[in-house]
Amino acid sequence: MTEDRGELVLRLIPRLTEINSNGHIFGGWILSQMDIAGGIVAGRLAQGAVATVAIDGMKFISPMLVGDIVAVYAREERRGRTSIGIRVDVIATRGADQQQIDLTSGLFTFVALDELHRPRILPTG
């Protein structure tokens, strides 16, 4: 994972209810947090409503464990006419030695929407 992770958008502590039968945190829970974080950044860049249209290259690198303190980072990676690609990386801080562990990474594409929920041209600048 790149050192330039972008903006720290969310810090989270997973709860016992998010654990699967392996003792890991559900991938779907992590994915939803990434979607929320990416949507916050995309919505700000788009200056309005956005919808997730695609998630590419989603990697679950290491399992997330109870007790992890989770940080969700997001940064613009690609900008089109109506869509923005936001790279979202999730890092855990774990244990007494505060180890930093790469958990997940994915490229989330958001489309700016108009009032009819159709694609809207992104603002410039």
Ligand X SMILES: CC(C)(COP(=O)(O)OP(=O)(O)OC[C@H]1O[C@@H](n2cnc3c(N)ncnc32)[C@H](O)[C@@H]1OP(=O)(O)O)[C@@H](O)C(=O)NCCC(=O)NCCS
Q: Which residue is nearest to ligand X (CB)?
A: 80
Binding-site ranges for ligand X (CB under 6 A): 51-54, 80-83, 109, 111, 118-119
Taking the least distance from each CB to ligand X, the nearer of 27 and 119 is: 119
In the complex, least distance from residue 111 CB atom to ligand X, rounded to whole angstroms:
4
Taking the least distance from each CB to ligand X, the nearer of 46 and 91 is: 46
In the complex, least distance from residue 81 CB atom to ligand X, rounded to whole angstroms:
4
Query: What CA–CA distance (Å, rounded) separates 52 from 29?
Result: 16
Taking the least distance from each CB to ligand X, the nearer of 15 and 44 is: 44
CA distances from 116 to 79, 123, 125 (A): 22, 17, 24
Residues 57-87 as b/e (b if ≥16 CB within 10 A, e otherwise) read eeeeebbbbeebebbbbbbeeeeeebbbbbb
